[in-house]
């Protein structure tokens, strides 16, 4: 009997989700088997997603949140499929979990791997590694608004989508970002808004950032508009360490970051409930990729990197470092899936990562 058993809910969901979740599970199980009985993972897989929606009219069970509540962590694949409108699939599963389990911090490292060619002009030997911290509970994803006035006739409908910024929501994600920065070599937090145009919520964000920053005099700061930050990701990425931004801005910037590193398939992410009142959820940043789903071509690195974030969440930091080193050894050896210029399939990359563990 292992000393520590971690109960994990696996939710592969749609498309390549199944392939990459299987890859991450193989790595975690290999680590557990080699741990000399120190820890193990007990898995429960849930069949939720767009296929489930087509059969039942729901993206997850009605009492799905109750089913998930007592797991130590959730390991998620990807949501979305052409047969179901994207706002139904996203709100019915991933956002339902993130919002109801108050997973308010979404950590999305941008890491450049050896052996993967970046499209970035300055990607020479300069080490590039930064983290996007996404406010994951409010902002543009608060789900506030409505559609009305349809009685005015065709072509006259009106929709409102309101962003919500609370002082508490801003402050907790900023303190999270500053604490993260303190543990990194470059102690710097870049705050991103569009407060010149969005003069209420994002000015509140800027004011809270200034107040919180005063409590971290050892951490360098900057406030940058999102358009300028997009340019900085491309032109001066070596100046980045921790980038904190609202829900939508951080989602866009983290996709840009992983594309600059070579592919969306590389990016890992952790949806954390730092208060540990609910399970946190670990998932690759990428979506379900219908164009390559079921062909064994999905890049498993984002999902395996997310498994490393889960290990860190459990305090298994050495094991997390081993997983990352195994990924690096694999990319450095040129064993790559097609999205990053190679010809290996998912299974071959997973085999190599397991061999390098």
Instruction: Return the number of the residue (72 or 283) whose C-beta is nearest ligand GGG.
Output: 283
Instruction: Return the number of the residue (205 or 282) whose C-beta is nearest ligand GGG.
Output: 282
Contact 303, 284 (CB under 8 A): yes
Cα dist from 209 to 133, 167, 191, 216, whole Å: 14, 10, 7, 11
Question: Is residue 72 a contact residue for ligand GGG (CB under 6 A)?
Answer: no
Question: Is residue 262 a contact residue for ligand GGG (CB under 6 A)?
Answer: no
Question: Is residue 327 a contact residue for ligand GGG (CB under 6 A)?
Answer: no
Instruction: Return the number of the residue (16 or 128) whose C-beta is nearest ligand GGG.
Output: 16
Question: Is residue 24 a contact residue for ligand GGG (CB under 6 A)?
Answer: no
Query: What is the distance between the alpha carbons of residues 181 and 171, in angstroms, rounded to a whole number?
Result: 15
Say which residues have a Cβ less than 8 Å from residue 22's Cβ, sequence separation at least 6: 12
Give which of 86, 87, 96 is closest to 64, Cα–Cα. 96
Question: Is residue 80 a contact residue for ligand GGG (CB under 6 A)?
Answer: yes
Contact 226, 254 (CB under 8 A): no
Question: Is residue 283 a contact residue for ligand GGG (CB under 6 A)?
Answer: yes
Q: How far is the CB of 124 from ligand GGG (least distance, A)?
A: 31
Beta 158-164 vs 73-78: how paired, if at all? Answer: unpaired
Q: Choose the binding region for ligand GGG from 22-30, 56-64, 280-288, 309-317 (rule: CB under 6 A).
A: 280-288
Question: Is residue 251 a contact residue for ligand GGG (CB under 6 A)?
Answer: yes
Q: Choose the binding region for ligand GGG from 34-42, 74-82, 178-186, 317-325 (rule: CB under 6 A).
A: 74-82
Q: How far is the CB of 298 from ligand GGG (least distance, A)?
A: 12
Instruction: Return the number of the residue (91 or 184) whose C-beta is nearest ligand GGG.
Output: 91
Q: Which of 12, 24, 265, 287 binds ligand GGG (CB under 6 A)?
A: 287
Question: Is residue 10 a contact residue for ligand GGG (CB under 6 A)?
Answer: no
Cα dist from 315 to 310, 319, 323, whole Å: 9, 9, 14
Q: How far is the CB of 296 from ligand GGG (least distance, A)?
A: 19
Assign residue 135 a region: left if phi > 0, alpha if psi is -120 to 50, beta otherwise? beta
The residues assigned a catalytic role are 141, 194, 227, 251, 255
x/- site string to ligand GGG, residues 82 to 101, per CB under 6 A?
--------x---x-------
Q: Give residue number: closest CB to ligand GGG.
A: 78
CA-CA-CA-CA torsion sign (191, 117, 303, 313): negative
Please provide the DSSP assignment of 93-113 as one string.
IIHHHHHHTT--EEEEEEEPP
**CB neighbours of residue 261 within 10 Å:** 25
Buried b (16+ CB within 10 A) or exposed e, 186-205: ebbbbbbbbbeebeebbebb
Residues that bind ligand GGG (CB under 6 A): 78-80, 90, 94, 251, 283-287
């Amino acid at each position: 009997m292992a000393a520590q058993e971690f109960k994990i809910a696996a939710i592969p969901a749609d498309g390549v989700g199944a392939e990459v979740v299987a890859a991450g599970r193989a790595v975690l199980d290999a680590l557990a088997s080699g741990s000399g009985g120190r820890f193990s993972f007990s898995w429960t897989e849930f069949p939720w997603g767009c296929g489930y929606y087509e059969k039942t009219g729901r993206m997850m069970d009605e009492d799905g949140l109750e089913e998930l509540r007592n797991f130590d962590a959730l390991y998620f694949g990807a949501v979305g499929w052409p047969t179901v409108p994207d706002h139904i699939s996203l709100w019915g599963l991933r956002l339902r979990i993130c919002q109801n389990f108050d997973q308010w911090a979404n950590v999305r490292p941008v890491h450049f791997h050896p052996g993967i060619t970046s499209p970035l002009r300055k990607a020479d030997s300069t080490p590039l590694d930064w983290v996007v911290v996404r406010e994951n509970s409010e902002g543009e994803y608060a789900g506030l608004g409505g559609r009305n006035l349809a009685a005015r006739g065709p072509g006259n409908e009106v929709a409102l989508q309101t962003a919500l910024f609370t002082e508490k929501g801003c402050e907790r994600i900023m303190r999270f970002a500053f604490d993260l920065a303190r543990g990194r070599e470059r102690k710097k937090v870049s705050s991103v808004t569009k407060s010149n145009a969005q003069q209420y919520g994002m000015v509140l964000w800027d004011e809270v950032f200034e107040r919180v920053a005063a409590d971290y005099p050892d951490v360098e700061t900057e406030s940058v508009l999102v358009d300028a930050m997009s340019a900085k990701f491309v032109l001066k990425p070596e100046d980045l360490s921790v980038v904190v931004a609202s829900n939508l801005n951080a989602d866009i910037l983290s996709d840009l970051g992983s594309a600059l590193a070579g592919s969306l398939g590389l990016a890992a992410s952790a949806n954390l409930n730092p208060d540990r009142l609910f399970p946190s959820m670990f998932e690759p940043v990428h979506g379900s990729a219908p164009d390559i789903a079921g062909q064994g071509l999905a890049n498993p690195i984002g999902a395996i990197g997310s498994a490393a974030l889960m290990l860190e969440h459990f305090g298994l930091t050495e094991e997390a470092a081993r997983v990352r080193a195994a990924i690096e050894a694999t990319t450095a050896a040129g064993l790559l899936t097609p999205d990053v210029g190679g010809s290996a399939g998912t299974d071959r990359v997973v085999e190599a990562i397991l061999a390098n563990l």
